[in-house]
Structure 1
Amino acid sequence: MYQPLPGYISPGPLAPDLRSADGRDKPSRNDSLAAQLSTVVGGPVGDHALIGRARFWTPLRVLLAFAVLFLALGWSTKAACIQQTADGNGQLSLDWNDGRQYVAMCYSDTVPLYGAERLNEGAFPYKKYWIEQTPEGGTEVRYMEYPVLSGLYQYLSMRIAKTWDMLPLPGALQVVIYFNVVAVGLALAWLVTVWATTLSAGRRPWDVALLVCSPLVIVHAFTNFDALATAFAATGLLAWARRRPVLAGVLLGLGGAAKLYPLLLLGPLVLLCLRADPLHRAAGGGRTGPGLGSVRDPRTFRDWWDGRRQWLAVVSARPLGAAGVTVAAALLTWALVNLPIAALYPQGWREFFRLNTTRHADPDSIYNVITSFTGWPGFDGELAHGQPPSILNMVSLAAFALACLAIGYVALTAPRRPRLAQLCFLVIAAFLLTNKVWSPQYSLWLIPLAVLALPHRRVLLTWMTIDALVWVPRMLYYLGTDRKGLPEQWFTGTVLLRDLAVLVLCALVVRQIYRPDEDPVRRDYADDPVGGVLDRAPDPLLPWLPERLRPKPGRV
């Protein structure tokens, strides 16, 4: 029976169950921004409060509720672009007159793609092709330009929209129904992203509030289809954290079939497993599995299946083995998803890769920023339509490769093995900064990784706000100066400011990698909540590496 200390008398009887999740992070007590915001709901949590006792409003449910609210705000920012108007003949059409999509800043790729990708015709992506005029007066054959899962998602949404239109239900233009169907699916995918990221955060679930309440969600949740990829990437990292390497690979492979970026997360995973010592046979600080000799000879299918499971368990218990299983599962899953479309419609399947090869530097790339302020014609000079910028492609690839080498050097030489989320954030940030394309919605890729890698609320909120505000000069630049829009330099200037903000985040992540004692995630004897087999695994000095690549002593 609990007895109060002398001089401290409880005003009422104590609860029979005094268990408390005291290990959970309390941002209202250790973060000034959260402490100030908490005054709205009664102030910081008390010194003697029992943590984790709410039966319904758990942190996950609170975060999901706020996610729904911010997704609703995101839909409202796009609603102006699905308003209808009647033309001179009384026919309904979308009200995009006088550049409404830019003036109202409601533009979403999903709306024009409904007609541009011939979805309005009920066509199956990758099979359907059409002829377009080129700026030089010629013609070219076009197909669906998205990866397979994103293209199939658009097709499924189109079928649902057309079915809805045929039923006695509240109606609208098909493109409006299509947008709302797409938005519902993307909202569910973003909720999955929030769910997986919250579980991956371990004892710091409230860090995910920055993911949930990010201004980037309001602006870009429904700009394109990237929430599908973030859901697969987040659940893939969660599966890895739960020591499910096969499932992690399958989910990352599916993400790669929606957008290629989830496959980039395999690099940090392999690198950290390599640092964890390939000769280490007991992942997780002494946990061992059955030896290979214990797998019995297969006499039936069940024996064979049990043998394969035992073998997989043995391999996955070691960091490099688990990484190999994940990489193999990811590549196999990506191939299995793409193979049917590639075999049946090879030209349509290659369209995504062809366009990414032939497209020039996008307005929001660092290469166009330089061109905008200096008049530099680019690495390839003036090119005809469809002519690939070969030098730019090589420079972009080389810059990303160099950035990855630098990240690898940081990972190997840090005094303590970096956390997986830290390296994943650095790799995706490097890809976006060096790539010739940074579509505005790509910033969604960074948010789940940022809140896990660098849980500093003021810093992350500053970057997210800058990134979200890039949308304003972007829309006014697309409106055109002839319609009272902004000159290009107003837009490219904000793009440069966003890039600098991301570089600052990268510098802070690297600083915490080399000074792990300053990493808030690793306080209270925590290691790597997303690490899976890497969490609390030995961190050897790697004598098999050259001296310059071995971990450097430092503040650990």
Structure 2
Amino acid sequence: MGYVAPAPLAPDLRSIDARDLPSRNDSLTAQLSTVIGGPVGEHALIGRVRFWTPLRVLFAFTVIFLALGWTAKAGCIQQTDDGNGGLTLDWNNGRQYVAMCYSDTVPLYGAERLNEGAFPYKKSWTESTPDGGTETRYMEYPVLSGLYQYVAMQIGNVWDHLPLPGAMSVVVYFNVVALGLCVGWLITVWATSRLAGRRVWDAALVAVSPLVIVHMFTNFDALATAFAATGLLAWARRKPVLAGVLLGLGGAAKLYPLLLLGPIVVLCLRISPAGLRLRDIDSVEAARSWLRETPLGAATLAVVAALGTWAAVNLPIAALYPEGWREFFRLNTTRHADPDSIYNVITSFTGWAGFDGSIGHGEPPTILNAVSLLAFLAACLGIAYLALTAPRRPRLTQLCFLVVAAFLLTNKVWSPQYSLWLVPLAVLALPHRRILLAWMTIDALVWVPRMYYYLGEDNKGLPEQWFTGTVVLRDLAVLGLCALIIYEILRPQDDLVRRDFVDDPAGGILDRAPDPLLPWLPQFLRPKEARVSSRPACVPD
């Protein structure tokens, strides 16, 4: 006896069965999914929902957490009577620290003379120094970040002249800046979801990170994360020139996107022994072919495009306003150990005077600068050695996370919002949700003792060691993530991303590339498996 369907079958019954299903294979997500009906069905058709696609769900999560982040800073843009019939920000009695709503954006509006309509890098002013002298100051941010502040100020001025609800100019300015940063983080989430491949839901941790609530509007770092994430996405889509352009723009906003070029070059070196034979390039056509078709050629295009883009953004400002352009580099050379740096932590607990001892304002801590640089270079050499000798080629985002983490851990400056740099890279490099949420929570909670330490013990704040103690916990958490990533690099069979014959979703030309014998390297730098075999890194489709 036959059976007749009650209605015509759906015209397309395809299912994206390869997509990762966290509600079925991740215990934390499975428990959370009970709020909306439980894990996805065993026989469900995946990827057939018309509206609530994964990306739209991720955007909804992102908007919610961005709104929470704005709310967390809203206490610092409250207005009050200044006693003369005008308005001023209500930062009385250390409100910015007690309410933990402090944002660099608000004081920088006046400190960088944006309230005067000044063009960054052209405008200079005189400030008193702690030793009783004076110094000439300029805009202290990299070019793209400085121009972003200038554009936001101009938009705020236009708003003030429109028949729209008004507020103090600094409040309007903050909201304009915040809107742009929201766009930057939405782009970061989008690019991360595309870089995640079949594990698209891993990007949810970027959207709902506690660090978004605490630090999204503390400074301007979402600009850099957007350029870094889209630069990696362009590389994943085998567009090295575009990748270089985006990473170069990111480097013009903050330094760290340029650091991502290092892992790209090292991995391309690992799989491009023939690419080193530059003597074989004996014509223009041969050079073009080498650039288009070899990994090392693609890496060369990316590096040249990145440096060229960075120079194209910086050179006009450097030529027109050289003193203003140098201010960022001058301040980073002369500033001492940041409160969040490991060097200040040691000073806090031991009373150590630092490598340079007591030096005056404006004097560069020469030894500290050298130690910080050498420590970072040593870490990079270790990462490069790991990348070349690992039994299987590491994934690009694994090395990117290790390089950026090494930069933060060894640098003399770790501003709290820098932790946002690590969020997309961590999600792509180590998609273990409980571990990542634990680290993000620890890192976000460092903000509490930081604010109460800045409040001062005389105002019922916290001693310095309460703050530096939590910094130690954060650093240990980041080191733990690095250790887990290194473990998975050395044991690629335990890498969640590489299950089901997946290689490197963000690798671009590196994805599914075989590990060669690398005869151009000394024996101790060759991959352990490649010493005896040049078999492909994964089973091809």
Q: Give the TM interval when normalised to the shorter protein.
A: over 0.9
Q: State the shift of 1:15 in Å.
A: 2.6
Secondary structure at 2:126's aligned position in 1?
strand
Corresponding position of 2:263 = 268
Partner Cα distance (1:21, 1:11) in 2 = 26
- In the other structure, the counterpart of 2:534 is none
User: Residues 293, 87 of structure 1: CA spacing in aligned structure 2 closer, same or farther, 3 A cutoff?
Assistant: closer
CA contact (8 A) 2:206 2:427 kept: yes
Q: Are residue 70 (structure 1) and residue 65 (structure 2) matched? A: yes
Flag the 1:391–1:294 CA change in 2: closer, same or farther, 3 A: closer
Separation in structure 1 between the aligned mates of residue 187 and residue 160 of structure 2, nearest angstrom: 28
Report the equivalent of 1:436: 412
- Aligned-residue offset at 1:106: 0.2
CA distance in 1, matches of 2:128, 2:244: 41
Q: Does 1:473 align with 2:468?
A: no
In 2, Cα distance between equivalents of 1:88 and 1:81:
19
8 Å CA contact 1:197, 1:234 repeated in 2: yes
CA distance in 2, matches of 1:324, 1:182: 35
1:18-417 paired onto structure 2 within 5 Å: 18-279=13-274, 312=288, 314-417=290-393
1:507 is matched with which residue?
A: 483
Question: In structure 2, the residue corresponding to 1:406 is in which secondary structure?
Answer: helix
State how far apart, in whole Å, the 2-side matches of 1:512 and 1:102 are.
41
Per the normalisation by structure 2, the TM-score is: 0.95
Q: Could you say what secondary structure the match of 1:524 adopts?
A: coil
The letter of the residue matching 1:72 is: A
Per-residue CA shift, 1:49-102, capped at 9, x if unaligned? 100001111111110111011000000000000000002212100000000000
Cα distance 1:102–1:426, how it changes in 2: closer, same or farther (>3 A)? same
User: Could you tell me how far 1:192 is from its partner in structure 2?
Assistant: 0.6
The SS at the match of 1:85 is strand
Query: What is residue 505 of structure 2 aligned with on the other side?
Result: 529
Residues 5-35 of structure 1 show CA distances to partners (whole Å, capped at 9, x for unaligned) of xxxx989764332100001011111111111
The answer as to whether partners of 1:24 and 1:204 remain within 8 angstroms in 2 is yes
Secondary structure at the aligned position of 1:243 is classed as coil
Matched, 1:457 2:433: yes
1:545 aligns with 2:540: no
Q: Shift in Å at residue 45 of structure 1?
A: 1.1
Q: Give 1:544 shift.
A: 1.8
Structure 2 CA distance for aligned equivalents of residues 406 and 14 of structure 1:
58
Aligned AA (1:404)? C
Which ranges in structure 2 are unaligned for 5 or more consecutive residues? Answer: 531-536
Aligned length: 527
Contact 1:278 1:318 in 2 (8 A): no
What secondary structure sits across from 1:111 in the alignment?
Answer: helix
Query: Secondary structure of 1:232's partner?
Result: helix
How far apart in 2 are the matches of 1:49 and 1:280? 47
TM-score between the two structures when normalised by the length of structure 1: 0.92
Q: Secondary structure at the match of 1:387?
A: coil
Q: Give the letter for the 2:361 counterpart.
A: H
- Cα deviation for residue 124 of structure 1 reads 0.2
Are the aligned partners of 1:245 and 1:316 in contact in 2 as well (CA < 8 Å)? no
The amino acid that maps onto 2:190 is: W
Cα shift at 1:47: 1.2
| Structure 1 residues 102 and 19, CA gap change in structure 2 (3 angstroms) | same
Corresponding residue SS for 2:484: helix
One-letter amino acid of the structure 1 residue matched with residue 400 of structure 2: C
Quick one: which amino acid aligns to residue 381 of structure 1? G
AA paired with 2:422?
L
CA distance in 2, matches of 1:106, 1:197: 28
Distance, in Å, in 1 between the alignment partners of 2:490 and 2:274 is 25
Task: Label 1:462 to 1:11 Cα distance change in 2 as closer, same or farther (>3 A).
Answer: farther
Contact 2:273–2:516 (8 Å) recurs in 1: no
Q: Distance in 2 between matches of 1:237 and 1:337?
A: 20
Would the alpha carbon gap of residues 10 and 100 (structure 1) be closer, same or farther in structure 2, given more than 3 Å must change? farther
Q: Deviations over 1:315-346 (max 9, x none)?
A: 13210000000000000000000000000000
- Contact 2:430/2:485 (<8 A) preserved: yes
> Structure 1 counterpart of 2:56, which letter?
R
Letter in 2 for 1:529: P
8 Å CA contact 2:275, 2:297 repeated in 1? no
- CA separation in 2, counterparts of 1:412 and 1:549? 6
State which of 429, 448, 472 in structure 1 corresponds to 2:424. 448
Is contact 1:292–1:314 with CA below 8 Å preserved after alignment? Answer: no
**CA displacement at 1:373 relative to structure 2:** 0.5
1:425: Cα distance to partner? 0.2
The answer on whether the counterparts of 1:278 and 1:319 sit within 8 Å (CA) in structure 2 is no
Q: Which runs of 5+ in 1 are unaligned?
A: 282-290, 296-309
The code of the aligned residue for 1:419 comes to R
Aligned-pair CA distance for 1:543: 2.1
CA contact (8 A) 1:67 1:213 kept: yes
Deviations 1:231-259 (A, max 9, x none): 00000000000000000000000000000
What's the offset of the Cα at 1:294?
10
Percent identity between the two aligned chains: 77
- Once the two structures are overlaid, the 10-residue window that deviates more, 83-92 or 255-264, is 83-92
| Deviation per residue, 1:404-445 (Å, 9 max, x gap) | 011011101100000000000000000000000000000000
**Does structure 2 conserve the Cα–Cα contact (< 8 Å) formed by 1:422 and 1:453?**
yes
- Residue aligned with 1:223, SS: coil
Report the secondary structure of 2:238's partner residue.
coil
